[in-house]
Amino acid sequence: MAPHAEADAGAAYGNGNSNGTNNSASSPSSELFTVSSPNVTYTDNEILSKYTYRTTSVTKDAAGKYVATPKETVYDFKVDRKVPKVGMMLVGWGGNNGTTVTAGIIANRRGLVWETREGPRAANYYGSVIMGSTMKLGTDPVTKQEVNIPFHDVLPMVHPNDLVIGGWDISSMNLAEAMDRAAVLEPTLKAQVKKELAQMVPLPSIYYPDFIAANQEDRADNLIPGNKASMAHVEKIRQDIRDFKQQNGLDKVIVQWTANTERYADIIPGVNDTADNLLKAIEQGHEEVSPSTVFAVACILENTPFINGSPQNTFVPGAIDLASRHGAFIGGDDFKSGQTKMKSALVDFLINAGIKLTSIASYNHLGNNDGKNLSSQRQFRSKEISKSNVVDDMVEANSVLYKKGEHPDHTVVIKYMPAVGDNKRALDEYYAEIFLGGHQTISIFNVCEDSLLASPLIIDLVVVAEMMTRISWKLSAQPDSEYKGFHSVLSILSYMLKAPLTPPGTPVVNALAKQRGALTNIFRACVGLEPESDMTLEHKLF
């Protein structure tokens, strides 16, 4: 079949039905709980809540002493309860992550079971914080026990089984052949999804050779003509999104970049520093505009959320400016799947335990195509940056251990070793000073099956980003004002990302527990619930 047969180009999957065996139905009527409060109102289509946000403002008095002043801001939140029909379009759909997440959603929707050497395995969403974890709803007043609910049930979120999937790739391989090329999944599982995946053919994509490793060229046989940015490329991608939406009867689409890591783009005044300059640079075919930035611009102009799962600086200042101008959602960067996820939890624990981390050595080798692309220095540099900055906030927050500007030694090494395929080996050493001149040395050997760790994050990013399109807010003190969306830069996604993109001028939080807390408590606030507190005073004051 012609690789781009119209009927198959970006062929979709999914029939809007979440009757998978391992997951709850997604219709609003299946909502697990209601909040009984004068501050929360349910209508057929909306959840309306009045939420008091309590913070502490810290200033310094004339003597240089801190003054902490409790503050309260009351917000009105509105949640659209209608779960829409959602499409997920992946850039790099034919890659290890793209094929794995597609096969995984099919397996879950059909409730597949397959034989392995360790016996039968059933489809699941392990590794997804939304589908695989819970949150504390509250406490049973009689039994005094915590009541925990599936994270997915705190708000009416889309169910991943219902996602309609499509996307682009510079490789023309259909998803079944690409799944074989990826060598991630068990043959007994592949055999059960092969037929569907064979019908899925990535749409042609844009390819500007200078942005990814030269060793990727042999894959590039599925191209939109033109090897540098143009408005024609922007418009073609926008049309692809509109066509996908129309062909599949979708209410909305979320686009994610899970294509190769690009080199960083130089930030050039007059080229990509403002929205207008970036649009002009694209019109003029400026060499410094990357494929990922072209996709971001196309999605922003199409008001389609765009998430960057790779470490390059897709969101040049002009792209952020454009997103803000259009009120379009963007998020990134770089899925946080294994070695760095562990680091962002372990460093948080050590430093908050008062242990002075003095060096972190992070080495890994892997043998997949991502590793092959990263074997090129300029692409590795993008990854080195995202993997290195993840401890900055935790170090800067502890002035007891670290003087201003002081930080642990930190090195990141990535080597390409084809033999291990997608099963990355991460070796880390954490070296710390402890009491009275002692040392603690923590050595970790962590085999990360990279695509099986990243695929659930792709799902979480889509589900959360889509949920954010159905949440709006206004200040209670301005009852006549219009509800509006969160800031265009979705920093709420940071738990899934190594180098969280935040609204300009706002701090970056990398500590994993804080990131999860932000996601949990913002969603709780949208149904009028207080932040999760571990104070449990009810168990201490009686």
Neighbours of 61 (CB within 10 A): 8
Using rule CB under 6 A, residue 370 touches ligand LIP: yes
Question: How many chain residues touch ligand LIP (CB under 6 A)?
Answer: 17
With CB under 5 to 8 Å by kind, the binding choice for 206 among ligand LIP, ligand NAD, none is ligand NAD
CA 346 to chain centroid, in Å, comes to 20
With CB under 5 to 8 Å by kind, the binding choice for 520 among ligand NAD, ligand LIP, none is none
Which residues share a beta bridge with 135? 149
Q: Does residue 40 sit in helix, strand or coil?
A: strand
| Interface pick for ligand NAD out of 77, 151, 335, 495 (rule CB under 6 A) | 335
Per the residue annotation, which of 76, 334, 428, 460 is the catalytic one? 334
Nearer to ligand NAD, 286 or 356 (CB): 286
Q: Which value, in Å, is the radius of gyration of the alpha carbons in the chain?
A: 24
For the question of residue 383 being annotated catalytic, the response is: yes
Tokens of 404: 């201003």
Q: How far is the CB of 309 from ligand LIP (least distance, A)?
A: 9
Torsion of CA 429, 399, 516, 149, to 10 degrees: 110
For the question of residue 424 being annotated catalytic, the response is: yes
Q: Which helix H or strand E contains 382, and what residues bound it?
A: helix 377-388
Q: Which helix H or strand E contains 1, and what residues bound it?
A: none
Residues 375-414 that bind ligand LIP (CB under 6 A): 383, 387, 414
DSSP 8-state assignment for residue 173: -
Using rule CB under 6 A, residue 374 touches ligand LIP: yes
| Interface pick for ligand LIP out of 109, 236, 424, 524 (rule CB under 6 A) | 424
Pairing of strands 113-116, 119-122: antiparallel
Per the residue annotation, which of 424, 428, 450, 460 is the catalytic one? 424
With CB under 5 to 8 Å by kind, the binding choice for 387 among ligand LIP, ligand NAD, none is ligand LIP
Q: How far is the CB of 170 from ligand LIP (least distance, A)?
A: 18
Question: Which of 278, 285, 283 lies closest to 300, judged by CA?
Answer: 278
CA 287 to chain centroid, in Å, comes to 28
Tokens of 224: 């939109």
For the question of residue 218 being annotated catalytic, the response is: no
Q: How far is CA 184 from CA 13, 103, 105, 377, in A?
A: 20, 11, 15, 26
Which segments of 216-361 does DSSP mark as H helices, in order? 231-247, 275-283, 291-301, 317-326, 339-352
Nearer to ligand LIP, 202 or 338 (CB): 338
With CB under 5 to 8 Å by kind, the binding choice for 340 among ligand LIP, ligand NAD, none is ligand LIP
Residues 6+ apart with CB under 8 A from 430: 346, 347, 350, 357, 359, 360, 440, 441, 442, 443, 444
What track of x and - describes contact with ligand LIP for positions 314 through 353 (by CB under 6 A)?
Answer: ----------------------xxxxx-------------
Residues 226-285 that bind ligand NAD (CB under 6 A): 258-261
DSSP string, 413-432: EEEE-GGGTTEEEEEEEEEE
CA 198 to chain centroid, in Å, comes to 27
End-to-end alpha carbon distance in the chain: 73
With CB under 5 to 8 Å by kind, the binding choice for 339 among ligand NAD, ligand LIP, none is ligand LIP
Tokens of 17: 């039905």
Per the residue annotation, which of 169, 383, 393, 422 is the catalytic one? 383
With CB under 5 to 8 Å by kind, the binding choice for 364 among ligand NAD, ligand LIP, none is ligand LIP
Using rule CB under 6 A, residue 192 touches ligand LIP: no
Strands, DSSP E only, in 140-257? 146-150, 164-168, 252-257
Using rule CB under 6 A, residue 318 touches ligand NAD: no
For the question of residue 498 being annotated catalytic, the response is: yes
- Name the one range near ligand NAD by CB under 6 A: 237-245, 333-341, 351-359, 429-437: 333-341
Using rule CB under 6 A, residue 334 touches ligand NAD: yes
Residues 420-459 that bind ligand NAD (CB under 6 A): 450-451, 453-454
Nearer to ligand LIP, 112 or 414 (CB): 414
| Interface pick for ligand LIP out of 10, 94, 371, 456 (rule CB under 6 A) | 371
Contact indicator for 86, 462 with CB cutoff of 8 Å:
yes
Residue with tokens 């201490």: 540
Residues 191-210 that bind ligand NAD (CB under 6 A): 205-207
- Distance between CA atoms of residues 334 and 292, nearest Å: 13
Interface contacts to ligand NAD, rule CB under 6 A: 91-92, 94-98, 168-171, 205-207, 212, 219, 258-261, 291, 309-310, 334-335, 337-338, 368-370, 373, 450-451, 453-454
Interface contacts to ligand LIP, rule CB under 6 A: 336-340, 364, 366, 370-371, 374, 383, 387, 414, 424, 426, 448, 450
Residues forming the active site: 334, 383, 424, 498
